[in-house]
């Protein structure tokens, strides 16, 4: 029998630092799509305590658990098991379908300005957006030191390449 080895979406790619910006793979752990059933919103809210179902473009967090808004009536539960939510929401395991990367450092906004059609300069910590990174769909989350990006697993290496090239182009401009 074959001995299979689980690999991360980026196969353990090491962090890249360029121009004071760091690109690194993020282990998302379990990712569950949570979509409340009609009429169950209040019961779901009680079951999620201390988390709350996030408002559009926001993240609700408690410890390692996060609920990230991903669209109307839908959020991703990241870093927690959806215990006690059966019958209250449609739950779908998305763990193998998404990859996470972080982009941190003072120049992270400048790097993303080359790839994302949003002005991120005033994006508050705890905010998120569904947008595009070049031609790829992305969920962008503002964190303390920069950003986390969730991309489809099948596009993880492409997203990494695009971000790394943008980082190096920015660093080259700073060196001039």
Count how many domains the chain has: 2
Tokens of 168: 């190096």
Give the integer Cα–Cα distance in Å for 81 and 19: 37
Same domain, 126 and 78: no
Q: Mean pLDDT over residues 46-50, rounded?
A: 89
Report which secondary-structure segment, H or E, holds 172.
helix 156-175
* 2-6, 88-92, 156-160: least confidently modelled range: 2-6
Strands of 31-36's sheet, edge to edge? 59-62, 65-71, 74-78, 31-36, 89-93
Give the integer Cα–Cα distance in Å for 42 and 166: 44
What's the pTM value of the predicted model, to 2 decimals? 0.93
Same domain, 89 and 112: no
Same domain, 165 and 117: yes
10 Å Cβ neighbour count for 134?
16
Q: Mean pLDDT over residues 44-61, rounded?
A: 92
Same domain, 81 and 158: no
Residue 134 lies in a domain: yes
Residue 74 reports pLDDT greater than 90: yes
């Amino acid at each position: 029998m074959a001995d299979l080895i689980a690999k991360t979406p980026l196969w353990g790619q090491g962090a890249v630092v360029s121009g004071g910006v760091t690109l690194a793979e993020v282990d998302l752990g379990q990712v569950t799509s949570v979509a409340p059933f009609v009429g169950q919103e209040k019961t779901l809210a009680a079951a999620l305590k201390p988390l709350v179902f996030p408002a559009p473009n926001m993240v609700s967090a408690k410890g390692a658990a996060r609920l990230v808004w991903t669209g109307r009536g839908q959020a991703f539960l990241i870093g927690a098991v959806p215990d006690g939510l059966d019958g209250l929401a449609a739950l779908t395991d998305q763990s193998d379908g998404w990859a996470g990367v972080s982009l941190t450092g003072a120049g992270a906004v400048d790097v993303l300005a080359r790839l994302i059609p949003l002005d991120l300069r005033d994006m508050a910590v705890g905010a998120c957006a569904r947008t595009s990174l070049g031609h790829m769909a992305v969920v962008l989350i503002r964190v303390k030191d920069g950003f986390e990006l969730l991309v489809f697993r099948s596009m993880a290496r492409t997203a990494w390449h695009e971000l790394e090239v943008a980082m190096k182009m920015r660093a080259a401009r700073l060196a001039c």
